[in-house]
Structures are given as structure tokens and as C-alpha cells.
Amino acid sequence: MASSSFSPTQEKFDVFLSFRGEDTRNGFISHLNAALCRRKIKTFIDDELKRGDEISPFLLYAIEGSKISIVIFSKDYASSRWCLEELVKIMDCRKMHGQIVIPVFYHVNPSDIRKQTGTYGDAFANHEYRQRAEMLQIWRSALTDAANLSGFHSNVVRPESKLIEKIVEDILKRLNIMSSSYNKNLVGIAMKIQEIKFLLSIGTNGVCKVGIWGMGGIGKTTLANAVFNKISRQFEGSYFIRNVREESEKRGLIQLQEKILSTILGDEHHNIWHASTIERLRRTKVLFVFDDVTNLNQINELIGDLENLGSGSQVIITTRDKQVLVSCRVDNATIYEVEELHSDESFRLFSRHAFKENDPVDEDYMALL
């Protein structure tokens, strides 16, 4: 995502990358950004060369709209007024909104950043001729505070591929913790999510298939979506295929098949029956949710034989007909029947929609039950 196309009304980002372009843009940053994107982590990276001294307003909005900021402290990071302004904003967001800030010390000593010595001292010596003492102190404080945070050291974690891998895994863990708030407004679903995750863990090798079965409107899609949002970043590719029955009846599944394969394999013009496509799928650990399936042919048309997916792949199928799961060769032990809400959960759900609260405070309402 280029900074020039960002506006505060657009959706927010998982990660904001702050870096000195001349030091790292075409090397470390390009590889880190690519690794984050492969894991479906939405990043904001300013891919334009920074000119001038004033930080642009949309960069400030991007920082505010990100869950995590990664600051790559390189040799000449502090020589850029723009980078220092970014850092001040990032540390303000940490203080005011609890934003997570992760420093990466890229071939620099954290103490040089903390104390503004070495190349950081040289940078401030140059800034002193152009900047007010008050601004210099703000920059120094931001650098000191950021350097005191726990982060990653390129001189400790080697090679760089391993460093990037560790950063990405750390980001994934933090985002997964944050995602727990996604389900806080859903009633009676927390335990169900854990039960589905347990069923998915039963098959550690090959392809694990879990069926979610129940009558229409009972919450199968909501449950599958909650599980998908919680675990999808653990896979090399993921896709939630909504309303399979409706799509099959209205438009057919060929276009949807092309879209799925393009998303998972990263390019276009695939045919699910071509040997090269099958081989690539066999090398890819994926997560698929097939929502509202009525027969096995629909899945075959979309993605072929599920056994052709990479080892460790997981498949969730929602349906109103248990026999569909049997025909899809879902083991009976991994079929989950969605039950109705308990009476207290039903009351809480009703209250939330009717009164915008978990329990009505007016006793007159209670008397009507």
C-alpha cells in the first residue's frame, strides 16, 4: 500500500513500518514487508522516496490507524527529520492509545540510539544547526524511550532470513491475542471456538477436515468465521468460501474457482485439474472454509480432491445435511453439531439487540418474560 493512496476513511493496518529508505528500502525492508504480506498481515509501507522536511498528514493517519509499529533503527535513521517525526508520533500513540511498538536494531548498537552517540550523535550534531533546542529534546526523548523497549537485534539473530522469520512470528502472536476482542460481542461462542480448534488439532499430519452441522440460522457461518479469523494467519494461504450453495445455483463455480486459486497460489490462469496446479497445492499449507455445502461435487469443482492439499492443511465445511460431511469423508469424530443457545445466552442475545445491553435494568421488562 503506497502512502499516497491512503486516506483516514480507509480500513486500518496491522503493521506500520518506519525506516530510513536509503539504508534499508531495497534490502531488509523489502524482504520483511514481503514476508508479512505472505502471512496476510496488512502493512503500511511508504514506498515513495521521502523528500523535504515535513511529514505528510496521511502518514500520521496511517500511524494512528495501525495496531503495531515496527521501527527499523539503521545507521542513518536519525539523520532523517522525517523518520524522527514518525518516531515521535509512534511513541505518542504508544503512550496515548497503547499501540505496540517493536524496535529492530539493524546493525546498530541500542546504546547509541539511547544515548545519541555514534552515527546518532553525528546526526544530532547536524540537526543542531537547523532545529530548535525544544524539538531536539523531543526527538532525543523519543529515541531513548524506543531504544529501551524490547526488540530484535540483527547482530544477535542471524542470518537475516531467520531474523525476519522471528519478527513475523512475533507479530502473528500479538495479532492473535488482539483478535480475541473480535468475538467479545458474540454470545455463546467462546467455548464453541475452542471446541472447533480442538477438533482441528486432532489431525496433525495430512489434511484435517472438520464439519460444522446444524439447522439453518443456528450460527454455523458465524462460528466458522470466528474460527477462521482466529487461526487463518497460521497458514501460507487461506480462503473463506461463503454461500457455496447460492453461488453454485446463481453463477456457477468456475469464476469462484479461479479467484480462489489466484489468491492461494499468487497468480492467475490456473486450472484445478492441471498437474502443475495440483503439485503447487500439495506444497502449500492452507486453510479453507466451505460455507453452506450441499454436495461433494461443489468442493471438487472449487478445489479438486481435498487430499491434494499440503500437509498440515485444515478444511472446515458447514452444512445443514450431515450426510454431506460423510460424503466429503469427514470423520465422525470431527463433526461438530451446533446446538441451540442456552436460555441465559438466548436472553442475553435478545437483551443486547432489544435493549443494547446484556440485561435490561427495568423490572417491567423482566415481568414480560
The segment with the largest mean pLDDT, out of 154-168, 247-261, 269-283, is 154-168
Name all domains of the chain by residue range, CATH numbers in brackets: 3-175 (3.40.50.10140), 186-338 (3.40.50.300)
Burial class (CB in 10 A: 0-12, 13-18, 19+), 344: exposed
Least confident range of 58-67, 112-121, 186-195, 285-294: 186-195
pLDDT band at 275 (very low <50, low <70, confident <90, very high): confident
What percentage of the chain reaches a pLDDT higher than 70? Answer: 82
Contacts of 357 (CB under 8 A, 6+ apart): 351
CA angle 292, 295, 300 (to 5 degrees): 100
Tell me the C-alpha distance between 38 and 281, whole Å. Answer: 16
Give the model confidence (pLDDT) of 318-340 as tens digits. 999 999 999 999 999 999 998 86
Helix (H) or strand (E) run with residue 289 in it:
strand 286-290
pLDDT at 115: 94
Residue 123, pLDDT > 70, answer yes
Least confident of 6-15, 213-222, 256-265, 355-364: 355-364
Give 138-186 pLDDT, tens digit per residue. Answer: 999 999 999 999 999 998 988 999 999 999 999 988 887 776 555 555 6
Other C-beta atoms closer than 10 Å to the C-beta of 198 total 12
H/E segment holding residue 102: strand 100-105
223-234 pLDDT, tens digit per residue, is 999 899 888 888
Range 117-129 average pLDDT: 94
pLDDT at 113 over 80: yes
Q: Would you say residue 356 has pLDDT above 70? A: no
The pLDDT of residue 164: 96
Q: 346 falls in which pLDDT band (50, 70, 90)? A: low
Phi and psi at residue 89, to the nearest 5°: -65, -45
pLDDT at 7: 41
Amino acid letter for position 75: K
Q: Are 278 and 231 in contact (CB under 8 A)?
A: no
**CA distance linking residue 119 with residue 107, whole number of Å:** 12
Most confident of 161-165, 197-201, 245-249: 161-165
Q: Which of 33-42, 184-193, 291-300, 357-366 is the most confident on average?
A: 291-300
Cα torsion 146, 76, 23, 144 to 10°: value is 0
pLDDT average, residue stretch 265-285: 82
Handedness of CA 1, 11, 257, 323 (dihedral sign): positive
pLDDT at 4: 36
Instruction: Look up cell 461438530; give the residue.
Output: 336
Q: Which residues are catalytic?
A: 86
pLDDT at residue 106 is higher than 90: yes
Q: Identify the CA nearest to 236 among candidates 211, 264, 199.
A: 264
Q: Which helix (H) or strand (E) holds 113?
A: helix 110-115
Mean pLDDT of the chain: 84
The grid coordinates of residue 62 equal 496511517
Residue showing cell 499468487: 266
Least confident stretch, 12-21, 31-40, 74-83, 262-271:
262-271
Q: What is the CA radius of gyration of the chain?
A: 25
CB 60 within 8 A of CB 89: yes
Q: Are 285 and 312 in contact (CB under 8 A)?
A: yes
Cα separation, 131 vs 120, in Å, equals 15
SS3 at position 286: strand
Dmax over Cα atoms in the chain, in whole Å? 77
Report the distance separating Cα 225 and Cα 240, nearest Å.
8
Strand partners, 149: none
